[in-house]
């Protein structure tokens, strides 16, 4: 009982920090100064998205805490309430992760070809990225509810939509996650190699290099704090369930998002946009 509550407390604290830091960053940022930089606009969009992600996870973890404290009153109705409270975060998190990959890809393009840093097609690029990211999140929900014909049967220990998923959705989710995580890791690796290559050039300014390091740290941070929970659940399976350890996946995700929020504020601060 103590461990799930402790994990939940860490998760709630991370959520509050994510919401607070991103809200402050979003409100303090001079939007007029970043409107010509696609990468900064996309980061600003993710900053706003993280506020909503934080609220969605707060709702989910709070419901889990209430269920844990009232374990004697758990029934089928409360179980379904807990399960479906995870739906908003399950929808928003894939959107956030794919958006992070798009940011990483664009940073690689800008580092390899600096002339693309300030693009005239900002609205087009941002629209494509946003539509693609939202499509990823919606597709996962559609596959879960319609594509795999999930039977809505939740046992008392069920604390997330995943526990109602059958082999069909588990296979889809595993393949989907492995592809996205592979892309994220490759992007971070390629970006690290490009930074090492560009550091040998005397034309690289110190301010630009500092910003690139913040971006690199953000890429690896996002990859690690999303891959680790996925790897744990994939290897350990039901032995590492939320019922025994609390919402550890959401907690690790939000810890990563918390570090991301600090890094993003540093990126905007480095560019003197705060």
Q: What percent of the chain has pLDDT over 70?
A: 77
Signed CA dihedral, 108, 110, 116, 122: sign only: positive
Handedness of CA 83, 87, 92, 94 (dihedral sign): positive
pLDDT, position 15: 93
Write the pLDDT tens digit of every residue in 172-209: 888 888 888 888 889 888 888 888 777 665 544 444 55
209-261 pLDDT per residue, tens: 567 778 888 888 888 888 877 777 777 654 445 556 678 888 888 999 999 99
**pLDDT value at position 236?**
63
Nearest to 94 by CA among 230, 191, 215: 230
Alpha carbons within 13 angstroms on the beta-carbon side of residue 8 total: 23
**Residue 231: left (phi > 0), alpha (psi -120 to 50), or beta?**
alpha
Of the two residues 118 and 166, the one the predictor is more confident about is: 166
CATH number at residue 103: 1.20.1070.10
Choice between 20 and 8, residue whose per-residue pLDDT is larger: 20
Task: Assign 21 a pLDDT band (cuts: 50, 70, 90).
Answer: very high
The number of folded domains in the chain is: 1
Q: What is the mean pLDDT of residues 18-35?
A: 87
SS3 37: strand
* Cα end-to-end distance, the chain, whole Å: 43
Residue range 162-170: mean pLDDT, rounded: 75
- Residue 169's domain comprises 2-270
pLDDT of residue 116: 66
User: Which pLDDT band holds residue 144 (cuts at 50, 70, 90)?
Assistant: confident
Alpha helices, DSSP H, located in the chain? 2-28, 31-34, 38-69, 76-85, 87-112, 122-142, 167-198, 206-236, 242-245, 248-270
Distance separating alpha carbons of residues 42 and 130, to the nearest angstrom: 9
Mean pLDDT, range 34-38, rounded to an integer: 78
Distance between CA atoms of 181 and 32, rounded to whole angstroms? 33
State both tokens at 163: 């526990």
Rg (CA), the chain: 20
Region 32-55: what's the mean pLDDT? Answer: 87
**Model pTM score:** 0.85
Enumerate the β-bridge partners of residue 239: none
Confidence category of residue 120, pLDDT binned at 50, 70, 90: low
pLDDT winner (highest mean) among 91-105, 145-159, 227-241: 91-105
Cα 179 from chain centre: 15
């Amino acid at each position: 009982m103590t461990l799930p509550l402790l994990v939940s407390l860490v998760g709630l604290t991370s959520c509050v920090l994510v919401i607070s830091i991103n809200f402050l960053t979003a409100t303090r940022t001079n939007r007029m100064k970043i409107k010509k930089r696609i990468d900064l606009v996309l980061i600003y969009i993710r900053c706003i998205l993280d506020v909503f992600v934080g609220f969605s996870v707060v709702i989910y973890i709070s419901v889990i805490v209430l269920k844990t404290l009232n374990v004697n009153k758990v029934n089928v109705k409360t179980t379904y309430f807990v399960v479906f409270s995870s739906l908003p975060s399950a929808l928003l998190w894939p959107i956030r992760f794919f958006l992070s990959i798009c940011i990483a890809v664009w940073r690689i393009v800008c580092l390899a070809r600096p002339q693309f840093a300030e693009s005239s097609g900002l609205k087009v690029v941002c629209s494509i990225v946003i539509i693609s990211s939202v499509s990823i999140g919606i597709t996962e929900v559609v596959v879960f509810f319609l594509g795999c014909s999930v039977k809505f049967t939740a046992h008392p220990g069920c604390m997330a939509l995943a526990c109602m998923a059958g082999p069909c959705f588990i296979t889809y989710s595993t393949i989907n996650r492995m592809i996205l995580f592979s892309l994220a890791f490759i992007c971070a690796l390629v970006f690290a190699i490009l930074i090492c290559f560009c550091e040998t050039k005397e034309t690289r300014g110190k301010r630009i290099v500092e910003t690139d390091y913040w971006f690199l740290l953000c890429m690896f941070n996002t990859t690690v704090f999303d891959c680790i929970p996925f790897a744990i659940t994939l290897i350990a399976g039901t032995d590492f369930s939320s019922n025994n350890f609390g919402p550890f996946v959401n907690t690790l995700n939000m810890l990563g998002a918390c570090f991301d929020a600090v890094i993003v504020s540093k990126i905007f601060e480095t560019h003197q946009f705060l």
